[in-house]
Amino acid sequence: MLAYMIRRLLYVIPVAFGVSVICFMLVHIAPGDPLTAVMPIDATAEQQAAMRAEYGFDRPLPVQFGIWLGNALQGDLGSSIATGRPVAAEVRRAVGNTLILAFTASLIGFPLGIFFGFVAGTFKDTLIDRAVTALAITGVSVPNYWLGIVLVAVFSVTLGWLPSTGAGPGGSTAWAWDIEHLRFILLPAITLAVVPMGIVTRTVRALVGDILSQDFVSALEAKGLSGTGVLRHVIRNVTPTTLSVVGLQLGYLLGGSILIETVFNWPGTGFLLSNAIFQRDLPLLQGTILVLALFFVFANLLVDLAQPLVDPRIKRG
């Protein structure tokens, strides 16, 4: 087991390197000039060349990559071209805001998803199952930015109950878990929770239905085990797969959603990323993508390491 864990940890290194190469190169392939954000568009060719040299964009790409990677390994992701502020600090603040949103969305999406999945799986092929399945499919299929716009139109614009944008009355730096701030997070969190909820519902429903139809359940029931006792067995069997699906969805939530954060002007990683894209802010773009990609890598790592603990059938060695 220990050997497996070490090996699994070591795999992270080439994956992370691959991720860094891809995210560095991708943003350089994209069209547009990274200096657009910092220069008046009619700056002369000479001024542009001077700026290009100042930011190091005149060097060959492999050299730029080497310098960037070297700094990144020391936790320095460079400075944003558009704002001049350190990328690491910008990403840290945005990640903090996205975590708040992801955490709230998880609190809504995962428990509801698991609950609905259990209900639908238990009452498979009944009216309840169909209703829950329809709800889950709707959740997965409805474009969430559209849902966000509709929620804003109803709850902010028409009813005037909840704010439509921002992360609190004074911005995100003064975030607190109080009513005033929860009013700001409710709509984006619900919008964000809908897709993971739908996916988890469908996964759990399929698993529960499958396990309930297996012989060992009939044997348990024949043995005279109570409903709760059977349920405990079902839960133990459902947990590993659910966990890996939840892990992947958690990665999705942590990644921040460009569309949802843009619709709600939520100052998280998705919002940062969309700003970086539109301003061609390469260091900010690279830094944000790198941190988000590493989130995925580590979320998968955690799930892989946690699975043997909850399912003894999975022997890693």
- Out of 157, 176, 309, 314, which residue is the one contacting other proteins (CB under 8 A)? 157
| Pure H helices in 87-226 | 87-122, 127-141, 144-151, 179-212, 215-222
Cβ-Cβ contacts under 8 Å for 163 (sequence gap 6 or more): 156, 183, 184
SS3 79: strand
Span interacting with other proteins, options 133-141, 236-244, 245-253, 273-281, rule CB under 8 A: 273-281
CA 315 to chain centre: 29
**Is 246 an interacting residue with respect to other proteins (CB under 8 A)?**
no
- Out of 10, 13, 29, 41, which residue is the one contacting other proteins (CB under 8 A)? 41
CA 215 to chain centre: 38
**Is 58 an interacting residue with respect to other proteins (CB under 8 A)?**
no
Cβ-Cβ contacts under 8 Å for 62 (sequence gap 6 or more): none
The rounded radius of gyration (Å) of the Cα atoms in the chain is 24
**Is 57 an interacting residue with respect to other proteins (CB under 8 A)?**
no
Q: How many residues bind other proteins (CB under 8 A)?
A: 64
**Is 77 an interacting residue with respect to other proteins (CB under 8 A)?**
no
**Is 229 an interacting residue with respect to other proteins (CB under 8 A)?**
no
Distance, in Å, from the CA atom of 141 to the CA atom of 28, rounded to the nearest integer, reads: 33
- Binding flags for other proteins, 96-115, as an x/- string (CB under 8 A): -----------xx--xx--x
Asked if 203 contacts 241 with a C-beta cutoff of 8 angstroms, the reply is yes
CB nearer to other proteins: pick between 264 and 295: 264
- Out of 27, 72, 87, 90, which residue is the one contacting other proteins (CB under 8 A)? 90
CB nearer to other proteins: pick between 184 and 296: 184
Shortest distance (Å) from residue 99 CB to other proteins: 17
**Is 39 an interacting residue with respect to other proteins (CB under 8 A)?**
yes
**Is 179 an interacting residue with respect to other proteins (CB under 8 A)?**
yes
Asked if 136 contacts 116 with a C-beta cutoff of 8 angstroms, the reply is yes
Shortest distance (Å) from residue 168 CB to other proteins: 9
- Out of 14, 62, 84, 312, which residue is the one contacting other proteins (CB under 8 A)? 84
- Out of 64, 241, 244, 265, which residue is the one contacting other proteins (CB under 8 A)? 265
* Packing angle, helices 282-310 and 227-254, rounded to 10: 160
Shortest distance (Å) from residue 111 CB to other proteins: 5
Phi and psi based region of residue 40 (left: phi greater than 0; alpha: psi -120 to 50; beta: remaining): beta
**Is 308 an interacting residue with respect to other proteins (CB under 8 A)?**
no
Cβ-Cβ contacts under 8 Å for 263 (sequence gap 6 or more): 145, 148, 149, 152, 188, 191
- Binding flags for other proteins, 187-216, as an x/- string (CB under 8 A): ------------------------------
Closest Cα to residue 121, out of 192, 217, 248, 191?
217
The binding site for other proteins (CB under 8 A) comprises 31-33, 35-45, 47-48, 51, 54, 82-85, 90, 93, 107-108, 111-112, 115, 149, 152-153, 156-157, 160-167, 169-173, 179-180, 182-183, 186, 262-265, 267, 271-272, 274-275, 278-280
